[in-house]
Structure 1
Amino acid sequence: MPAASTTLRTLAVSVIALLTVTGCQALDDAGRAMGRADVVNDLAARIDRALELTYSAQYQLSGGRTASINQSQDPARSAYEWPEGKLTVTAEATTRCEADEGRTVCTLEAPPAPNSKPPVVVFAAAEREGLVTPPLVMGLLTSAALDPGAVITQRENTIAGHHATCVDVRQTAESFNACVTAEGVLGSFTGQVDGVPVELALSRYQEQVDGAAFELPPGAGVVDHRPAI
């Protein structure tokens, strides 16, 4: 299973375990009281189901830039791509590619151990460039749901032709809006990441993935840090 899948499953379990006992309340658009656990657990369950899917999601970033998230199950692998880089997680390696002064260099490291959490740093470069990842969204939702001062409201929306459930989170530290489609794919995000405003919206979703999405960028230099077998 890809590293991203392991991260999301671990986060989802943690969210459910922590929030079930909070008893905190939020209000939906109709003013109906609902437990914070209900809001977060529903989105966590959707994202969890999506980990079993094969799909390609294209995103529009601020400034007219684009990014993508690709996931395949046979074999299990995932790829995150943004204007200045790419992260690919397969059974063979965790590969981070970065473009600098017109040249792309890819660093190969050992793949995550089965059923283990990958280090959060593997997603940091993507998130700095505006590609908000599902693990980041789940982390923000967890923090918000455990913040007694946070106000969480739920609404329904349609994004790129797909039904989505959205949450608006208002809190002292960070306020944000996130949407998850019925398929469990991140639909949109508006907020801040490390103090930097970020905006992302799904522009296209399909249930097929081109195998080239998991390959290294053409002409990229390779630095292999994997331990010798």
Structure 2
Amino acid sequence: MRVTLAPLLSALLALTGCQVITDDGVAPDRARLIADMTAQLQRAASYRYHAEYLLAGGAKGAISQQTGPARTVFAYPGGRLVVDSGGHTSCVTAVRPARCQIRPLPSAGPAELTGYTEVTKHGLVTAPVVTGLLQAAQLQSQADVEAFDATLAGRQATCLEVSGLTDADAGGFTVCVTAEGVLASFSGVVGGVSVDQSLLGVTGAPPASAFDLPDGARVTDHRPRTPAP
């Protein structure tokens, strides 16, 4: 496990205003770095916010979240995913009329990330996917983890650069998270998809329209029907 940044990376971080996080001059251990960032991502669940991102190729994406009732929407080029207590609603907006499918919340396990991995295929990574990658890094002793600070869209963020992963959806990645737990940036190849995501801006008031289904959408509900009494 490395405890200091390689000379080249150190030079790059100096140029970009990033610096290694240290505790009394000693780099924190990998387990604590990963645990801290995982907890930081979970912290965002208690906040209302609307974050806009620049994606690979100049495309735009957004994540909007409200807390009463709890609901999050991930908007990406050609579609969106809405997650709430009633299930996952995925919509294809690249066609007219838009097509939406509602499915029950997946059970715990690999299927739990199904809807989120579909979002990743369109270049927008989500906190559940990042959490899964961090868990993989936690379990693999050969993985290297380096920490640094950055400022993105005017917000201070804690960042981790992870490399050397095996048997994971990504061999390595760099992720930054704001103090509130909002995903600030992500770069890496996840499931064969090159993701380059950077925060453009974040506000505390998501637009109400962000949670609406597209006008005229054809909706198919795959949730089990409750038998009539």
Task: Give the distance between the partners of 2:41 and 2:165, measured in 1 at CA.
Answer: 26
Does the 8 Å CA contact 2:117/2:129 hold for their aligned counterparts? no
1:149 maps onto 2:154 in alignment: no
C-alpha change, 1:192 and 1:228, in structure 2 (3 Å) is same
Task: Give the distance between the partners of 1:175 and 1:190, measured in 2 at CA.
Answer: 9
Q: Which sits farther off after the overlay, 186-195 or 88-97?
A: 88-97
Structural RMSD (CA): 2.1
Q: SS state of the match for residue 118, structure 2?
A: helix
Shift of 1:194: 1.1
Picking from 114, 129, 132, the partner of 2:125 is 132
Where does the alignment leave 5 or more consecutive residues of structure 2 unmatched? 6-19
Question: TM-score by structure 2 length?
Answer: 0.81
Q: Which structure would you say has the larger Rg?
A: 2
Does the 8 Å CA contact 1:26/1:151 hold for their aligned counterparts? no
Q: SS state of the match for residue 163, structure 1?
A: strand
Which amino acid letter does the alignment assign opposite residue 190 of structure 2? V
Q: SS state of the match for residue 98, structure 2?
A: strand
Q: 1:82 maps to which residue?
A: 76
Does the 8 Å CA contact 2:137/2:165 hold for their aligned counterparts? no
Question: TM-score by structure 1 length?
Answer: 0.81
Task: Give the distance between the partners of 2:165 and 2:74, measured in 1 at CA.
Answer: 31
Does the 8 Å CA contact 1:27/1:34 hold for their aligned counterparts? no
Q: 1:122 maps to which residue?
A: 115
* Counterpart mapping for 1:52-91 below 5 A: 52-91=46-85
1:227 maps onto 2:224 in alignment: yes
Does the 8 Å CA contact 2:38/2:134 hold for their aligned counterparts? no
Q: SS state of the match for residue 47, structure 1?
A: helix
C-alpha change, 1:225 and 1:204, in structure 2 (3 Å) is same
C-alpha change, 1:84 and 1:111, in structure 2 (3 Å) is same
Q: 1:105 maps to which residue?
A: 99
Q: SS state of the match for residue 34, structure 1?
A: coil
Task: Give the distance between the partners of 1:46 and 1:59, measured in 2 at CA.
Answer: 19
Residue-pair matches, total: 204
Q: 1:184 maps to which residue?
A: 181
Q: Deviations over 1:53-77 (max 9, x none)?
A: 1111111101111111111111111
Shift of 1:222: 1.0
Shift of 1:103: 4.0
Task: Give the distance between the partners of 2:68 and 2:80, measured in 1 at CA.
Answer: 21
Q: SS state of the match for residue 78, structure 1?
A: strand
Task: Give the distance between the partners of 1:213 and 1:68, measured in 2 at CA.
Answer: 9
Shift of 1:196: 2.4
Q: Deviations over 1:14-68 (max 9, x none)?
A: xxxxxxxxxx774463672321121011111211221111111111101111111
Does the 8 Å CA contact 1:58/1:203 hold for their aligned counterparts? yes
C-alpha change, 1:35 and 1:161, in structure 2 (3 Å) is same
Shift of 1:189: 0.5
Where does the alignment leave 5 or more consecutive residues of structure 1 unmatched? 1-23
Task: Give the distance between the partners of 1:145 and 1:27, measured in 2 at CA.
Answer: 18
Picking from 180, 190, 194, the partner of 2:191 is 194
